[in-house]
Structure 1
Amino acid sequence: MNLTMEDVLRALDPDEVDYAAASQLGPDALPFLMTLVQGQDPGLAAKAAYLAAVVEGELSERVVTAAAASGDVRVRVAAAHAASMLAAEPASRVLGTLLLDSDAGVQKLALKSVSAGLSPDLMVKVQEVSVNGSSQGLRDYAVQAMERLQ
């Protein structure tokens, strides 16, 4: 069976996507997901970014990275959450950019996605947020993230 954009859109159409079922589309869905992440519909782009991480294919990091660079905060929030499902190195790269995002909500979710086993270089950015975060809440999340990294 050849996968089509219509198949991917059908899987992402529900308000509450069944990501476990949608992941059965497999890595062949990743080019379609990249197209959606780079598209004009932020709701669909956010769902596509999350599904890209669930699918776990060779292009997953590229799709989540594209979402992390989106001009729409909703898509960057999805990228921060999706990064937690990537392997350690790709997750570290994606979270490294999102930890210093201009939006506090994106930063908060990126900090919540930080876990043990990620790059030690990530610690520098987490420490930066722990000192220079725009709110006490962000600084507190950064301290918690540093504890998980150690």
Structure 2
Amino acid sequence: MPVTMRDVRAVLDPDEVDYSAGARLGPEAFDYLLALVRDTDPGLAAKAAYLAGVIRGERSEEVVAAAAASEDALVRVAAASAAALLAPASASRVLNDLVVDQDSGVQKLALRSVPADPSPELRSRVREVSAGAAEPGLRAMADNVLRGLH
């Protein structure tokens, strides 16, 4: 049975999303999730971004990256969280800009999502945060991330 926007909305509309049920929608949901990420409703866009990570399909990175480029910090936070569910190479690409985001909440979640074996570019960005973040807490988080990397 094909997945429709109605099916995707039925999963994402509740306040408490059942992401396990959403994952069963599978890769057919990606076009709808991408459309919702680009939608003007940040709450729904954030849920769609996270579900794309949970589905773990070939297009998960595309949807999560679109969320990472959002002007809304809530959507970027969701992208940072969803990046932890992606393969290390995909996570690294999504997190490159998020670890140096102007919003400290986005940065914190992005730092928590850095894979153990990040790309050289992401590793360099984490070093930037470690050396120069205005918030001491962010510098400390980045230091901890660097210590845990392979």
**TM-score, length basis structure 1:** 0.97
Q: Which moved more, 1:54-63 or 1:35-44?
A: 54-63
Give, as a single letter, the amino acid of the residue that structure 2 aligns with 1:2. Answer: P
Query: 1-side partners of 2:96 and 2:41: how far apart?
Result: 25
Cα displacement string for residues 22-55 of structure 1 (whole angstroms, at most 9, x for unaligned residues):
1000000000000000001000000000000111
Q: Which amino acid aligns with 2:94?
A: V
Any gaps of 5 or more consecutive residues in structure 1?
Answer: none
What are the residue-to-residue correspondences of 1:29-44 with 2, within 5 Å?
29-44=29-44
CA contact (8 A) 1:77 1:105 kept: yes
Size of the alignment, in residue pairs? 150
SS of 2:76's equivalent in the other structure is helix
Identity of aligned residues (%): 57
Structure 2-normalised TM-score?
A: 0.97
Matches within 5 A, 1:39-118: 39-118=39-118
Residue matched to 2:17: 17
Give the superposition deviation at 1:80: 0.3
Q: Residues 39-98 of structure 1: CA distance to partner in whole angstroms, max 9, x if unpaired?
A: 010000000000001111111101000000000000000000000000011100011110
CA distance in 1, matches of 2:52, 2:75: 13
Q: Secondary structure at the match of 1:128?
A: helix
1:121 equivalent to 2:121? Answer yes
Q: Is the 8 A contact 2:26 2:55 kept in 1?
A: yes
The equivalent residue for 2:26 is: 26
SS at match of 1:129: helix
Question: Amino acid of the residue matched to residue 18 of structure 2?
Answer: D
**RMSD over aligned Cα, in angstroms?**
0.9
Which contiguous aligned blocks of 4+ residues in structure 1 show a shift greater than 4 angstroms? none
Residue 8 of structure 1, CA deviation = 0.1
Task: Name the SS for the 1:28 alignment partner.
Answer: helix
**Which residue identity lines up with residue 141 of structure 2 in the other structure?**
Y
Deviations 1:85-136 (A, max 9, x none): 0001110001111011111110111001113122233211000000111200
2:81 maps to amino acid = H
